[in-house]
Structure 1
Amino acid sequence: MNENLKAALKMHELHHENFENDLNHWLKYELFSWNWWVLFAFALLPWIIWLKVIDRKRLLEIILIGTLAMIPTTFLDAIGIDLSFWIYPVQFSPVAPRAMAFDMSMVSVTYMLMYQFFNKWKSYIIALLIMSLLFAFIGEPVSKAMNLVYYIRWKYWYSLLYYIALGITIKIFVNKCKGTYIKE
């Protein structure tokens, strides 16, 4: 067995121990706590609203928007945790991404609904700025106050810039895809 494999197996063992510690902590302190129920609502309610109001004629492009919002947000959230920019003291599930309720529900559903209801660039940008300000300067501080997130090396305005950049990027991408598809 070479040194690389030995080191990889040791890392795997440590990772497994860490997971067991996380699972025990989750079962003892997080599951069914009031914070957990808030995350449960954050994970479920946006999708219930989405199901009631979604424009089924535009379902494919709207789902694409949600997916394009979800993937980088979830990925960057994991990087932020690994780099100790923030932690999530309570998580919805010990085996799902730590910020699942935010990244895969609140954020992605909000972008989908914005895309659906604000077709024109001007109205979309206004809605995007309002949403970004609300998420960054109200939603995140409230989440911090509720002990759902703890920022170690992160500022709210970084999030503001991210939400704006993501919203513009995904709309451009989907509009281009839609234009290409319609031309064919």
Structure 2
Amino acid sequence: MIIPEEVAKKTDEAYHFLVKANQKDHIIWMEDVFLSWQWWFCFILAIIPWVLWWKFRKKESTNRLLLGAFFTMFISTSLDSYGTELGYWGYRYELLPFLPSFFPWDLSLLPVAFLVIVQIKPNISPILKAIFYAFLSSSIGEPFFEWLGFYNPITWNYVYSLPIQFIIFLVGYSLVTSKKFEAIK
């Protein structure tokens, strides 16, 4: 074996510990979360924003807008997973117990809020829109989900999220408004 046996043993022990913790988490999810009102609330939050956006979107810009939404989803899910893994925050009610991030937040609410803010008042400065987006998600969204009991900021403060959300919005905005798309030949 190329890996030193001591490292393999430590890694295997940690892995087995994580598997047992995940199994316990899945049992709690199945017994106490699945089909509870909190689960249904998460389900609705994961579906309804996309349905509404699909109905009211600027149809000729759908593909460009979705690029920004997918960027927002990818970055949000990645950072959320890292933060959860590092113990900065946790979630008590999840739509699916297999994801370390909060599915409705990362894959629905944040990207759809991004899409709506990008489309409304297109002549407003992207900096102002990014400030609004960051404030909305960090100072309203996070406290709201903490109040509901879904989100537990263990060592995290909402203020830390402001610059992160600001940058996510600006990068997504630059993708959506880029003029560097070329035709597929």
The TM-score normalised by the length of structure 1 is 0.87
Aligned to 2:57: 54
Question: Which string of whole-angstrom CA distances, capped at 9 and with x for unpartnered residues, describes residues 66-92 of structure 1?
Answer: 011111111111111111111101111
**Distance in 2 between the 1:138 and 1:57 partners?**
31
Q: Which one is further off, 124-133 or 54-63?
A: 124-133
Match of 1:144 among 137, 146, 149: 146
Aligned to 1:167: 169
**Distance in 2 between the 1:87 and 1:68 partners?**
23
Q: Which one is further off, 41-50 or 28-37?
A: 28-37
The TM-score normalised by the length of structure 2 is 0.86
Match of 1:108 among 90, 108, 111: 111
Is residue 35–residue 147 contact of structure 1 (8 Å, CA) maintained in 2?
A: no
Aligned to 1:76: 79
Q: Quick one: which amino acid aligns to residue 75 of structure 1?
A: S
Is residue 69–residue 114 contact of structure 2 (8 Å, CA) maintained in 1?
A: yes
Is residue 92–residue 98 contact of structure 1 (8 Å, CA) maintained in 2?
A: no
- Please give the root-mean-square deviation of Cα atoms over the aligned residues, in Å: 2.1
Q: Quick one: which amino acid aligns to residue 152 of structure 1?
A: I
- Aligned sequence identity (%): 24
Aligned to 1:10: 13
Gaps of 5+ in 1: none
Aligned to 1:35: 38
Is residue 118–residue 173 contact of structure 2 (8 Å, CA) maintained in 1?
A: yes
Match of 1:21 among 11, 24, 35: 24
Q: Quick one: which amino acid aligns to residue 81 of structure 1?
A: T
Task: Report how many aligned residue pairs link the two structures.
Answer: 181
Aligned to 2:48: 45
**Distance in 2 between the 1:153 and 1:118 partners?**
37
Match of 1:88 among 50, 71, 91: 91
